[in-house]
Structure 1
């Protein structure tokens, strides 16, 4: 009798990042899952869409664990795929040295062995479903396989750009750090600039609005948002005039190469934010710890996001 598969006991996420991105990736991990790791794989009972993160490449919804390929092979014999074609792929473990990785011939043999033991119709070219098998440190894992789509990469092609704007990759991670659970969250970017953060948040279905005090930039912001089929309120407004209450605010502190805000203006911005939000994500090229403390915020987590010789601090404040 075929086995009915219930909710996965856990999900296995495969990560990929440049070494300069490790700190940002780990801060995003802590925000989404409550802990971080330096491993290429992260296990969690939480289900996160892989495409949410710029660092998650794949997710396996675990169905079986085993001590060996033979163990997994016996277990999948109880599994049946009905009304859909499928394919099994072996995922390499990037934590292993090259000499420890599964060679191509062996990889194909394992995929074939597992695939033939599943009751159903195999389609190697255009399957309805993908399943994956991977060797971890102490076990083999088999489950439903989902690849990430690089949504943030598509958003690089916006009509208008600022040279000092966050990259779409960093912006997407910052949104995940700010809003790990998107349900019933009301979010604001009160210094939205050209709209990079807004676009990433809107693409995740987050309820976010934006404002900026620069009247020259906002037409481009609205054009960028509309270019990707999104819609939200973007208003001409100084952060000190923001009204209402928000669950979280994201502030990429304004700056350019010729003029940086003085401490008085920075403090006024953060004091204003304190009035309309309990949680604040600050992105800054400067050290703002004393000013954040003066504004009655507490930094509870942080990282440095690097790109070549350029660095930004990402601060989680409550």
Structure 2
């Protein structure tokens, strides 16, 4: 393995048809581009469990034009006392006529496994390795699978029908903060804390606030239910005096709230005051109002929940 090369990672991902716009924006936020297929290579390392769409990641150790080149290189792999398993990644870019059938996939896994110095364990391995073809080459390395953390967050004590889904909330947090290192975030209209829970589970430094005492109490209950800690204060965005790198604002919908257009415009204006980057989630087209608040919309997508659609705007 050439350690002088920049690290490389192979990702696979999947999304439903109504999630394509949201998935694409998350991909642009993480990697700076949209993948044209469900597998791609990047030099950027993202934990697969951060995304509701990334399925798995291979940390490339070896690559070659042929499987034989991979076989020769994995002779160097030693796992010590740890047990391991090799997985052939089914999502790849092979032409349908070149697809590797199940029996051959198992054969490739066995051949690689025989060349690794250590004990193989199909059921409960301590280490996982992946092998996959992409772009006419073969790649081998440590394998990481998405743990679908957001799925468990669906079962929270407080919930409302119009609240963001955990998948949308998680993607919104990633769009807002693709790299959380040193970033301070606020959700000043946090509702029951769906975004807060997802952000906290990914190690994002975030605080919440809501003007409704009942709702703010529900957010605290949801956060505590999952074992997280987060400051959730009571009050309007107008009263915030601190500044943040990013604000995530799920705008009041006027479905179950009594916020007026003027009050919503005030939220936008104060968001401009307290954060240099703002993610706005809205069910209405408010581009003109966003511009009037002093923002430039740099990217956007549509996020759907059944027949209910939201726009997610990236604003600076």
Q: Give me the TM-score of the superposition, normalised by structure 2.
A: 0.94
Of the candidates 64, 67, 72, which is equivalent to residue 66 of structure 1? 64
User: How well do the aligned residues superpose, as a CA RMSD in angstroms?
Assistant: 1.9
Give the structure 2 partner of residue 19 of structure 1.
Answer: 17
For 1:243 and 1:211, locate their aligned partners in 2 and report how far apart those are by CA, in whole Å: 13
For 1:229 and 1:259, locate their aligned partners in 2 and report how far apart those are by CA, in whole Å: 29
Query: Do 1:51 and 1:150's aligned partners in 2 also have CA atoms closer than 8 Å?
Result: yes
Give the structure 2 partner of residue 198 of structure 1.
Answer: 196
Point out where structure 1 has 5 or more consecutive residues left out of the alignment.
none
Q: Any residues of structure 2 matched to 1:197-276 within 5 Å, and which?
A: 197-257=195-255, 261-276=259-274
Of the candidates 33, 41, 52, which is equivalent to residue 43 of structure 1? 41
Q: Relative to structure 1, is the Cα distance of residues 261 and 165 closer, same or farther in structure 2, using a 3 angstrom cutoff?
A: same
Bigger drift between 91-100 and 171-180 goes to 91-100
Q: Relative to structure 1, is the Cα distance of residues 141 and 241 closer, same or farther in structure 2, using a 3 angstrom cutoff?
A: same
Q: Relative to structure 1, is the Cα distance of residues 205 and 17 closer, same or farther in structure 2, using a 3 angstrom cutoff?
A: same
Deviations 1:79-135 (A, max 9, x none): 322232211110112555665432111111110111111222222222111101011
Give the structure 2 partner of residue 179 of structure 1.
Answer: 177
Deviations 1:220-243 (A, max 9, x none): 111111000111111111112211
Q: Any residues of structure 2 matched to 1:270-289 within 5 Å, and which?
A: 270-289=268-287
Deviations 1:271-308 (A, max 9, x none): 11111111000001111110000000100011111233
Give the structure 1 partner of residue 310 of structure 2.
Answer: 312
Query: Do 1:10 and 1:62's aligned partners in 2 also have CA atoms closer than 8 Å?
Result: yes
1:262 offset after TM fit, Å?
Answer: 4.0
Query: Do 2:74 and 2:115's aligned partners in 1 also have CA atoms closer than 8 Å?
Result: yes
SS in 1 for 2:213: coil
Deviations 1:163-199 (A, max 9, x none): 1110000000000000111111111000000000000
Deviations 1:10-66 (A, max 9, x none): 011111111211111111111111222131112111211111111111110001111
Give the structure 2 partner of residue 86 of structure 1.
Answer: 84
1:263 offset after TM fit, Å?
Answer: 3.2
Query: Do 2:93 and 2:133's aligned partners in 1 also have CA atoms closer than 8 Å?
Result: no
1:4 offset after TM fit, Å?
Answer: 9.2
Query: Do 2:9 and 2:43's aligned partners in 1 also have CA atoms closer than 8 Å?
Result: yes
Give the structure 2 partner of residue 165 of structure 1.
Answer: 163
For 2:94 and 2:221, locate their aligned partners in 1 and report how far apart those are by CA, in whole Å: 46
Query: Do 1:93 and 1:136's aligned partners in 2 also have CA atoms closer than 8 Å?
Result: no
1:200 offset after TM fit, Å?
Answer: 0.5
Query: Do 1:93 and 1:135's aligned partners in 2 also have CA atoms closer than 8 Å?
Result: no
Query: Do 1:16 and 1:55's aligned partners in 2 also have CA atoms closer than 8 Å?
Result: yes
SS in 1 for 2:34: coil
Give the structure 1 partner of residue 126 of structure 2.
Answer: 128
Give the structure 2 partner of residue 116 of structure 1.
Answer: 114
Deviations 1:200-258 (A, max 9, x none): 11111111111111122122111111000111111111112211100000000011436
Point out where structure 2 has 5 or more consecutive residues left out of the alignment.
none
SS in 2 for 1:160: coil
For 2:5 and 2:45, locate their aligned partners in 1 and report how far apart those are by CA, in whole Å: 10
Of the candidates 288, 291, 296, which is equivalent to residue 290 of structure 1? 288
How many residues get paired? 316
SS in 1 for 2:125: coil
SS in 2 for 1:194: coil
